[in-house]
Amino acid sequence: MAGRQQVSLALVIGALGVVFGDIGTSPIYTLQTLFNPHDPHPVPVSTENVFGVVSLVFWSVMIIVTVTYVLLAMRADNDGEGGILALITLLKRLVGGRGGRVAAILAGLGIFGAALFFGDSMITPAISVLSAVEGLRVVEPSMDELIVPITAMIIIALFLVQRRGTAAVGRVFGPVMILWFVTIGACGVAGITRYPQILKALSPTYAAGFLVGHFDVAFFSLAAVVLAVTGAEALYADMGHFGRRAITRGWLWLVFPACVLSYLGQGALILHDQANIASPFFLLVPGWGRLPLVLLATAATVIASQAVITGAYSVASQAAQLGYLPRLRVTHTSESQIGQIYVPWINWLLMVSVLTLVFAFRSSAALAYAFGMAVTGTITITTLMFFYIARHKWRTPRWAIGIGAAVLLAVDLLFFAANLTKLVHGAWLPLLIGVTAFTIMTTWQKGREIVTAERQRREGSLREFVDRLRTGGALTQRVPGTAVFLNRGKETAPLAMRANVEHNHVRHEHVVIMSIETQPMPRVAEEDRISVDDLGYADDGIVHVTVRLGYMDRLDLPTALRRLDPELTEGLPSHEEVSYFLSKIELRIGASPTMATWRKRLFIATSYITADAAEHFGLPRDRTVIMGSHIEV
């Protein structure tokens, strides 16, 4: 029992260091943004409004984070994994081909939600680090001009060290975030002592009264209130790393209480002196403690940024595995934690995007207008998909689905509508990023289907091709060694194999046609990963090998080949004598009306970021042969 408790505590500490960084740093800028006098729709500072806003923040966090994510969404896991893409694969696996139009629409919305996450991963580092460094303005007003350059340097350093992975620094993340939450909770308590009546804001009557009695102000304030729930998706997305229990305990035991105390303390501080609206978070501490708090806040926001950057790597990698993005170069940065990966192309794209946002918006308040759009969109999509899955997976009664969905979606859609009012003030940005990413992902999926169909037509039947070899229909010389041809299945003949026979007039003594199947699950058990089919041509030395992997499994085909059952591969030489053959496809724009011309150009342009196939599959370069062909789309 003691061992189980120790493991549980370690998981909770790990979750505190990775999962809660984004939502845990929201108190830095949420109330400051709400009462920002330069906001297009400012909330007037009054006792009634402060009580209403603090109550609204508390109940928004309670409903969206605690109820929607912690109590509900995290129960819908895909073999332990959470997040939008895992939810999509769970949806497809549950309904199969019977889902109809509703399931197809929800899956499309899920892809759009994943696309919105890329916008979130660009905005989060910018607004988080900016908001922390802006604390320097409270410490020393003359340092105002240095805020943007210092933020830029921190962000550049953050992205430059990504290739080293988070394993080396991961051990300190948890303790730093524990110190952070204890600190903001203690500061909140100190603020509450100045105006204890603020505790009344915990009553839902203040939130309801603010919404009903001052709807014209309260509605627009929701665009800033949503900042308190940013990072909620991370709780769900990182469930596979730490488990539901560890995340739930971390949230209920420390993160939620600390954030609530901070919001209450800031509200009390504003009621004590309305001049504190300039920076209520940093003004909670006396002058001597503000610089240390700025440094701690900067460390916490860097950790928050690290978490969302790592999340972007995971989403991009999973999307590529599921066929929504081209094959990307992925580097595993930890020998013990397979989920810790580094995707260079995504890293540099994010760095340029984050720096552009910092120099374009120059303040966390300006970025806050853009932030909520991606968050509310993702939350609404997650809620929709959860209730659909709840009906199909658990057969939850329709009346319960109807009541739950009506209440939670009403809240989500109210937030979404409020953020639409900020469209011209920056909310267009995450929508533009989301639409762009969604267009790229769906175009790649469609183009991939077209290329696959044309490729299968050219490859022709594998059985007919082998029969030609057996009857001497193709003049070939049999040479020693083993050739491994990568192919999409066992029905068609690999293009590289055809080219080798038709142009080089040779075939190897042993031929392994290897297919990789990405399963709609995070990982596949070792005993289920490999299967061998002799295709009825065992005497000819031709076998087909299927390698099944989850979308979070690492591709390493030579290792997979070594794990083949010796009885099924008797006669095959050692792996040092194996040659690997790849078919390289050159894409060209064709006249067929398969897609709009602009989408064909986009598909071909996207193909240029495809990672090197030999590196992607873990093939030794000195024994890999690439044979080319071209296909029109």
In a domain, 492, yes or no: yes
89 and 149 in a common domain = yes
Tens of pLDDT, residue by residue over 91-130, are 877 766 555 677 778 888 889 988 988 888 898 899 889 9
Please tell me the predicted confidence (pLDDT) of residue 228: 95
Select the more confidently predicted residue: 107 or 254.
254
pLDDT band at 2 (very low <50, low <70, confident <90, very high): very low
* 112 three-class SS: helix
pLDDT band at 606 (very low <50, low <70, confident <90, very high): very high
Tens of pLDDT, residue by residue over 527-538, are 788 888 877 766
489 and 531 in a common domain = yes
Specify the range with the lowest mean pLDDT, choosing from 244-258, 346-360, 489-503.
Answer: 489-503
Please tell me the predicted confidence (pLDDT) of residue 98: 55
Tens of pLDDT, residue by residue over 352-382, are 999 999 999 888 888 887 878 888 998 999 9
Find tokens 């192309």 and name the residue.
345
Average pLDDT over residues 54-76: 95
Task: Name the residue among 519, 523, 378, 442 with its Cα closest to residue 93.
Answer: 519
In a domain, 464, yes or no: yes
Tokens representing 233? 């998706």
Residue 515 pairs with which residues in a beta bridge?
546
CA-to-CA separations, 97 to 92, 100, 201, 596, in angstroms, rounded: 8, 7, 49, 27
From 395, 426, 457, the end of a domain falls on 426
393 and 272 in a common domain = yes
Decide if pLDDT at 6 tops 70.
no
Decide if pLDDT at 567 tops 70.
no
Cβ(48)–Cβ(203) below 8 Å: no
Decide if pLDDT at 457 tops 70.
yes
Please tell me the predicted confidence (pLDDT) of residue 59: 97
295 and 192 in a common domain = yes
In a domain, 453, yes or no: yes
239 and 140 in a common domain = yes
From 368, 399, 426, the end of a domain falls on 426
pLDDT band at 386 (very low <50, low <70, confident <90, very high): very high
CATH code: domain of residue 307: 1.20.1740.10
Identity of residue 258: A
Please tell me the predicted confidence (pLDDT) of residue 31: 93
pLDDT band at 168 (very low <50, low <70, confident <90, very high): low
Specify the range with the lowest mean pLDDT, choosing from 138-147, 169-178, 262-271, 479-488.
Answer: 169-178
From 426, 453, 483, the end of a domain falls on 426
412 and 472 in a common domain = no
Specify the range with the lowest mean pLDDT, choosing from 59-68, 90-99, 159-168, 333-342.
Answer: 333-342
509 and 415 in a common domain = no
State the Cα–Cα distance between residues 119 and 127, nearest whole angstrom: 12
Average pLDDT over residues 254-274: 96
The overall average pLDDT reported for the chain is 85
Find tokens 């979606």 and name the residue.
409
Q: What percent of the chain has pLDDT over 90?
A: 37
State the Cα–Cα distance between residues 199 and 626, nearest whole angstrom: 69
The torsion defined by the Cα of 166, 316, 128 and 36, in degrees rounded to 10, comes to -170
Give the side-chain half-sphere CA count within 13 A for 270: 27
Tokens representing 441? 């992902």
Please tell me the predicted confidence (pLDDT) of residue 5: 42
Tens of pLDDT, residue by residue over 199-208, are 999 999 999 9
Strand order in the sheet with 624-632: 530-533, 542-550, 506-519, 477-486, 578-588, 624-632
103 and 252 in a common domain = yes
In a domain, 317, yes or no: yes
The residue segments making up the domain with residue 25 are 18-426
Q: Say how many domains are in the chain.
A: 2
State the Cα–Cα distance between residues 81 and 550, nearest whole angstrom: 11
CA 322, 327, 328, 330 dihedral sign is positive
508 and 403 in a common domain = no
In a domain, 5, yes or no: no
In a domain, 154, yes or no: yes
In a domain, 556, yes or no: yes
Tens of pLDDT, residue by residue over 429-456, are 888 999 999 999 999 999 999 988 888 8
Where in 147-297 does DSSP place strands (E)? Answer: none
- Structure pTM? 0.81
Please tell me the predicted confidence (pLDDT) of residue 568: 45
558 and 475 in a common domain = yes
Cβ(315)–Cβ(115) below 8 Å: no
In a domain, 1, yes or no: no
Average pLDDT over residues 404-419: 95
466 and 333 in a common domain = no
Where in 250-351 does DSSP place strands (E)? Answer: 331-332, 341-342
Average pLDDT over residues 579-596: 86
Average pLDDT over residues 455-484: 79
Find tokens 């910092």 and name the residue.
358
Task: Name the residue among 250, 334, 318, 344 with its Cα closest to residue 520.
Answer: 318
Average pLDDT over residues 616-626: 82
Following DSSP, what letter does each residue of 335-396 receive, concatenated? Answer: SS-TT-EE-HHHHHHHHHHHHHHHHHH-SHHHHHHHHHHHHHHHHHHHHHHHHHHHHHHS--
Cβ(322)–Cβ(89) below 8 Å: yes
Please tell me the predicted confidence (pLDDT) of residue 576: 58
561 and 510 in a common domain = yes
Pairing of strands 331-332, 341-342: antiparallel
